Amino acid sequence: MSVAYGPPEMMAVAMARLIRDGELVFIGVNSPLPLVAASLARRLHAPNCTLLSIGGGVNPTPAGLGAATSSARLSIGSASVFDNVDFYGLVARGGVDTTFLGLAQIDERGRVNSSFIGEQKRPTVRFPGGGGAATILPLSRRVILWRASHSPRIFVEEVPFVTSAGNIDRVVTPLCTFRKEEGFLVLDSIHSYIDRERLAKSTGFAIRNLDRAPVTPPPTAAELSELERLDPTGVRRSEFPPGDLSAA
Amino acid sequence: MSKQLALEDAVRLIKNGQRITIGGTLCQRVPAAFVREMARQAVRDLELVKPSPGYDIDLLAAAGCVRRIRSGIVSLEQPFGMAPNFRRAVEEGRLEVIENACPTIMASLQAASFGVPFQPVAGLQGSDIPKVSGFGKVTDPFSGKEVYVVEAIQPDWAIIHVNEADARGNARIYGTPVWDRLMSRAARRCILTAEKILPTEHFASQPELTVVPELFVEAVVLAPSGAWPTSSYPDHDLDEAAIWDYLKKLRAPDGLARYLEETKAHDRSEKEVAA
């Protein structure tokens, strides 16, 4: 039996599966998909992972999820408030297992640019900045990067500026999941609804193992029904531009 | 002694060319009424030091109030995405960004709050940020290992929106203080905008809940919903429709002036100063 799903569901499930039971997982600002994924993992295979939110909560239990992950609502149900200064101390002392980080551009060597393109004083493109990534990427035991969009302007041969680099474990996109192997991004799996030619055209560097990587196991019925119960308002879709939600 | 001022008078404390830090994060508990009043009074050439600005820098960039910013990330967060007026100001060369990571701004503020000239910071390996932003690298005299250091940066003012304050400047913040506790200790002086002004006894009854003590505070402004359209936990979440409306209005040539005019009554209401 086939179950309907698209890139938001595939990404949320793929990211959830990467979380291991018992880990301490950090969810920062601007992170709707990681919030959904970590909450899903806690309901499925990782009930004993600790979710630390930049909203101040340790395993918060707000009534519903929202797209703004810096909200102080993400301390509701928490027995303590763990603020930004506390978090950056914890990550610096090596206390964080897994962190999700966004990106504006990434290159074949897993270097991330979230800062700018062009001259620093007057850039042709200004990005938001990397947040804490330059500190977190070398210090969090594992970092899962994600971006709800996949194009040759995002996945480039070489970034013009390195905002952050370090312990990349996986990069999850609407088309595929990469992993870092011997210093280079390689294809971990390609999502079931994407053909390999399209993935190659959408990526600005040559994928070394394009033809050999497996297909990402589609979300199971159990994963999808739990996802729908957890996220009835569709926070998982909030990072996708309107009209960009179909698998086609 | 009461430090309570009307919003317009408190904003007049900010002088052109000063360095400020602003409490809250992205679209959460930003002292938005104060920020809009700075734009109305056309304060100029400010330097903003803040790990994670959002609505505040977007509006101040549109109004031309800020010449330089030290930040880790600038965003309005989902569902709004990037701060478009900030982006335009930087791409047009009107606003300089000194690239940081959030915790390197934090460390610069910590150094200021501790009274030391610089602060070692963890991480940053492989990043171009230390090179372009003038961080130092020193040898740890104890282990012999190399470590990045950032200089102390002391803002002239920390402007913080709080849930409750007394007229002397003691304040509570409910939910996460984000970076505000540190900001209050790093800046030369603080200005508070408060949802409520309550008697000092309220704070003395549970002093451990006071995030900002009066000794750092220069002025207190009564500003009910002074964080709007950003959130003020637990009273209200961010006002999504109002932030979309802000973004839409500012796309028009005279949009900022209209927006500042339309929000003036909201911002300046309840400005009665206690005797």
A188-209: pLDDT as tens digits:
999 999 999 999 999 999 999 9
pLDDT for B65 equals 98
Closest partner residue to B28 (CB to CB) among A71, A88, A120 is A71
Residue B192 has pLDDT above 50, yes or no: yes
- Within 17-76 of A, beta carbons closer than 8 Å to B belong to 29-30, 32, 55-56, 66-73, 75
CA distance A226 to chain B (A): 23
CB under 8 A, 24+ apart: contacts of A44-49: A44/A16, A44/A222, A44/A223, A44/A226, A45/A17, A45/A19, A45/A21, A46/A19, A46/A20, A46/A21, A46/A22, A47/A21, A48/A21, A48/A22, A49/A19, A49/A20, A49/A21, A49/A22, A49/A23, A49/A24, A49/A25
Which of A11, A26, A30 is the best substitution to test chain B (most B C-beta atoms within 10 A)? A30
Domains of chain A: 7-237 (3.40.1080.10)
User: Residue B207 carries which DSSP code?
Assistant: G
Size of interface A-B (CB pairs under 8 A): 177
Residue B274 has pLDDT above 90, yes or no: no
A123 at the B interface (CB within 8 A)?
yes
- Model pLDDT for residues A39-88, shown as the tens digit of each residue: 999 999 999 999 999 999 999 999 999 999 999 999 999 999 999 999 99
- DSSP secondary structure string, A180-197? EETTEEEEEEE-TT--HH
Cβ separation A92–B122 shorter than 8 A? yes
Closest partner residue to A30 (CB to CB) among B75, B124, B181 is B75
Dihedral sign from CA coordinates of A126, A129, A130, A135: positive
- Please count the other Cβ atoms lying within 10 Å of the Cβ belonging to residue A140: 28
Residue A3 has pLDDT above 90, yes or no: no
- Model pLDDT for residues B39-55, shown as the tens digit of each residue: 999 999 999 999 999 99
Using DSSP's 3-state secondary structure scheme, residue B35 falls into: helix
pLDDT for B245 equals 98
Q: For residues A160 and A183, what is the distance between their CA atoms, to the nearest angstrom?
A: 18
- Model pLDDT for residues B130-185, shown as the tens digit of each residue: 999 999 999 999 999 999 999 999 999 999 999 999 999 999 999 999 999 999 99
Report the percent of chain B where pLDDT is more than 90.
Answer: 97
Dihedral sign from CA coordinates of A153, A155, A161, A163: positive
Q: For residues A244 and A246, what is the distance between their CA atoms, to the nearest angstrom?
A: 6
- Model pLDDT for residues B251-263, shown as the tens digit of each residue: 999 999 999 999 9
Q: For residues B271 and B219, what is the distance between their CA atoms, to the nearest angstrom?
A: 13
CATH number 2.150.10.10 is the correct assignment for the domain at B7-101+153-259: no
Cβ separation B78–A161 shorter than 8 A? no
Nearest CA in chain A to B67: A121
- Model pLDDT for residues B217-226, shown as the tens digit of each residue: 999 999 999 9
The answer to whether the beta carbons of residues B94 and B57 sit under 8 Å apart is no
- Model pLDDT for residues A107-136, shown as the tens digit of each residue: 999 999 999 999 999 999 999 999 999 999
Which of A11, A29, A143 is the best substitution to test chain B (most B C-beta atoms within 10 A)? A29
CA distance B37 to chain A (A): 25
B163 at the A interface (CB within 8 A)?
no
Chain B residues within an 8 Å CB radius of A123: 90-91
Check whether the bond before B224 is cis (ω within 30° of 0): no
User: Which residues, in sequence order, are bridge partners of residue B150?
Assistant: B119
Cβ separation A128–B75 shorter than 8 A? yes
pLDDT for B32 equals 98
Chain B residues within an 8 Å CB radius of A135: 101-104, 121-124
pLDDT-derived band at A247 (thresholds 50, 70, 90) equals very low
- The predicted model scores a pTM of 0.96
CA distance A175 to chain B (A): 21
pLDDT for A1 equals 43
Closest partner residue to B90 (CB to CB) among A123, A138, A163 is A123
Q: How far is CA A139 from CA A111, A163, B7, B173, in A?
A: 15, 15, 43, 30
Reported residue count of chain A is: 248
User: Residue A57 carries which DSSP code?
Assistant: -
What is the average pLDDT value for chain A, to the nearest integer?
Answer: 95
pLDDT-derived band at A241 (thresholds 50, 70, 90) equals confident
pLDDT for A245 equals 56
Burial B138-168 (b: 16+ CB within 10 A, else e): eeeeeeeeeebbbebbbbbbbbbbbbbbbbb
Domain ranges of chain B: 7-101+153-259, 116-151
Report the percent of chain A where pLDDT is more than 70.
Answer: 96
B270 CB-near residues (< 8 Å, 6+ apart): B222, B223, B224
- DSSP secondary structure string, A129-158? --TTHHHHHHHSSEEEEE-S---TTTEESS
Residue B18 has pLDDT above 80, yes or no: yes
pLDDT-derived band at B275 (thresholds 50, 70, 90) equals very low
Cβ separation A126–B26 shorter than 8 A? no
Using DSSP's 3-state secondary structure scheme, residue B137 falls into: strand
Q: Is A43 exposed, middle or buried (0-12, 13-18, 19+ CB in 10 A)?
A: middle
CA distance B100 to chain A (A): 8
Q: For residues A70 and B26, what is the distance between their CA atoms, to the nearest angstrom?
A: 8
B127 at the A interface (CB within 8 A)?
yes
The answer to whether the beta carbons of residues B10 and B4 sit under 8 Å apart is no
Using DSSP's 3-state secondary structure scheme, residue B75 falls into: coil
pLDDT for B269 equals 78
pLDDT for B206 equals 98
Cβ separation A123–B91 shorter than 8 A? yes
Chain B residues within an 8 Å CB radius of A124: 91
Check whether the bond before B234 is cis (ω within 30° of 0): yes
The answer to whether the beta carbons of residues A41 and A59 sit under 8 Å apart is no
Site of tokens 């506790």: B181
- Please count the other Cβ atoms lying within 10 Å of the Cβ belonging to residue A69: 26
The answer to whether the beta carbons of residues A71 and B77 sit under 8 Å apart is no
User: Which residues, in sequence order, are bridge partners of residue B33?
Assistant: none
Comparing A242 with B89, the larger pLDDT belongs to B89
Q: Is B120 exposed, middle or buried (0-12, 13-18, 19+ CB in 10 A)?
A: middle
Nearest CA in chain A to B148: A135
Cβ separation A83–B176 shorter than 8 A? yes
The answer to whether the beta carbons of residues A163 and B146 sit under 8 Å apart is no
Q: What value of ipTM does the predicted structure carry? A: 0.95
Residue A248 has pLDDT above 90, yes or no: no
Closest partner residue to B78 (CB to CB) among A32, A125, A166 is A32
Q: For residues B59 and B263, what is the distance between their CA atoms, to the nearest angstrom?
A: 13
CA distance B86 to chain A (A): 9
In this prediction, residues A137-143 reach a mean pLDDT of: 97
In this prediction, residues A208-226 reach a mean pLDDT of: 97
Which of B129, B176, B185 is the best substitution to test chain A (most A C-beta atoms within 10 A)? B176
- Within 174-233 of A, beta carbons closer than 8 Å to B belong to none
Residue A210 has pLDDT above 60, yes or no: yes
In this prediction, residues B108-117 reach a mean pLDDT of: 98
Q: How far is CA A223 from CA A18, A87, A219, A220, A240, in A?
A: 14, 30, 6, 5, 20
Report the percent of chain B where pLDDT is more than 70.
Answer: 98
What is the average pLDDT value for chain B, to the nearest integer?
Answer: 96
The answer to whether the beta carbons of residues B230 and B58 sit under 8 Å apart is no
In this prediction, residues B24-39 reach a mean pLDDT of: 98
Closest partner residue to B129 (CB to CB) among A75, A163, A239 is A163
Which of A53, A54, A119, A126 is the best substitution to test chain B (most B C-beta atoms within 10 A)? A126
